Amino acid sequence: MPILVIGDLMIDHYISVEKSRINPEAPTLIFKYLHEWYQLGGTANVAKHIKLLSNNYVELIGDFGHKYEILEKLLKEFDIKYKKFIFNKKTTIKTRIICDNYILLRIDNEDIYYLNYLETLSIIDYLEKIIDKFNIIVISDYQKGVITDLLLKKLFNLIKKKKLDIKILIDFKNKDLLKTLIDYSEFIHCIFPNKNEFCKIINKELNTIEEFKEELRSFYEKYNFKFNVFLKLSKNGCLYLFNRLGGIKYFENPKVTNVVDVTGAGDVVIATYATELNKLVANKVKINERDLYCIIEKCLLNATKHIKKLGS
């Protein structure tokens, strides 16, 4: 069954170099250029991993920006369908300099641009035409301006008006969206904060797994929301709050050695979750706690495999 992905599109740009000699002009190294390549980044990377994991129909919506030709070429390579919106924004490009399979430096070239009312309506108008065919929607917010309060409210109200049963997964970096997410929590299946984002939400510094578990429980009791929470704890695995039972379970990461590149590990998590959840929905399975726990274990396994490779 098809999956819809909405959010901030980016390009990951890699430049491979090798050490050459000491710079005679200053006490710095000179590197020799070897080659470079582009990959899908941000929300586009989420869509790519969903496609790789399932080969299902995946459609992507976002602001393509001024480097839309690169994004289109990469999306076509993975057979990802897309609706191209170009607003007043340059495409976010993250350039990583690679030497001996390690990232030496990252350079971000971007302008943060939040969609205005008319631009948001243009996306909602398109969604109104296509949303009926999707059972899963992934919203991936990198705080670059596509995912706003207005867009979310319009989307949730559209689903309400059409009386659709859609599982919505949200990975958000902008904590200002929290009130809207809680107000419309009945439309959301799960949110995916990482540990730093969660600390910002609750305005506390946390260190241990037990501290995160205690604060997640307090967070749930304070707001009484209806979605599940997949709290990513980086190398320490994750906590999962299963809303229907109000219980919190800790999941340990599979053991991993030789971590090369953690870029996009969170994208792999939500892509895996969406893919596995989509299988259950397609088979009309009544989803229970055990089903979700199996999905979580697969998410962690895939993320662990991902970080062993550079630029994957």
- Whether residue 243 is predicted with pLDDT greater than 70 in this model: the reply is yes
The domain of 244 spans: 3-10+41-90+111-306
Q: Would you say residue 166 lies in a domain?
A: yes
Tens of pLDDT, residues 135-149: 999 999 999 999 999
- CA torsion sign for 273, 92, 263, 70 is positive
- When pLDDT is cut at 50, 70 and 90, the band that residue 307 belongs to is low
- When pLDDT is cut at 50, 70 and 90, the band that residue 310 belongs to is low
- What is the spatial distance between Cα 249 and Cα 216, in angstroms, rounded to a whole number? 11
Tokens (6 digits) for 51:
């496609």
Q: Would you say residue 49 lies in a domain?
A: yes
Average pLDDT of span 287-297? 93
Given the residues 8, 79, 267, 291, the one annotated as active site: 267
Q: What's the pLDDT at 211?
A: 97
Average pLDDT of span 64-89? 94
Q: What's the pLDDT at 200?
A: 94
Q: What percentage of the chain reaches a pLDDT higher than 70?
A: 95
Tokens (6 digits) for 81:
């369908």
**Who wins on pLDDT, 308 or 248?**
248
Q: What percentage of the chain reaches a pLDDT higher than 90?
A: 79
Q: What's the pLDDT at 284?
A: 86
Tens of pLDDT, residues 162-207: 999 999 999 999 999 999 999 999 999 999 999 999 999 999 999 9
- Whether residue 123 is predicted with pLDDT greater than 90 in this model: the reply is yes
Q: Would you say residue 34 lies in a domain?
A: no
- What are residue 280's phi and psi, to 5 degrees? -65, -45
Q: Would you say residue 27 lies in a domain?
A: no
- What is the spatial distance between Cα 50 and Cα 72, in angstroms, rounded to a whole number? 17
Q: Give which of 50, 48, 19 is closest to 32, Cα–Cα.
A: 19
267 catalytic residue (yes or no): yes
Tens of pLDDT, residues 206-237: 999 999 999 999 999 999 999 999 999 998 99
| Long-range contacts, 184-188 (Cβ 8 Å, 24+) | 184/152, 184/153, 184/156, 185/225, 185/226, 185/227, 186/226, 187/156, 187/159, 187/160, 188/226, 188/227
Query: What are the angstrom distances between the C-alpha of 28 and each of 15, 20, 24, 25, 257?
Result: 19, 11, 8, 8, 31
Q: What's the pLDDT at 169?
A: 98
- Given strand 167-171, what is the order of strands in its sheet? 81-85, 58-63, 3-7, 136-140, 167-171, 190-191, 228-232, 238-242, 247-251
Q: Would you say residue 18 lies in a domain?
A: no
Q: What is the CATH number of the domain that holds 157?
A: 3.40.1190.20
- When pLDDT is cut at 50, 70 and 90, the band that residue 59 belongs to is very high
16 CB-near residues (< 8 Å, 6+ apart): 33, 34, 35, 36, 98, 99
- What is the spatial distance between Cα 39 and Cα 236, in angstroms, rounded to a whole number? 28
Number of domains in the chain: 1
Spell 66-97 as b/e; 16+ CB within 10 A means b.
Answer: ebbebbeebbeebebebbebebebebbbbbbb
Average pLDDT of span 302-306? 86
Q: Which residue has the tokens 């999306």?
A: 75
7 CB-near residues (< 8 Å, 6+ apart): 42, 43, 46, 62, 138, 139, 140, 141, 142, 146, 147
Q: Would you say residue 160 lies in a domain?
A: yes
Q: Would you say residue 32 lies in a domain?
A: no
Q: What's the pLDDT at 259?
A: 62
Q: Is 241 helix (H, G, I), strand (E, B) or coil?
A: strand
Q: Would you say residue 22 lies in a domain?
A: no
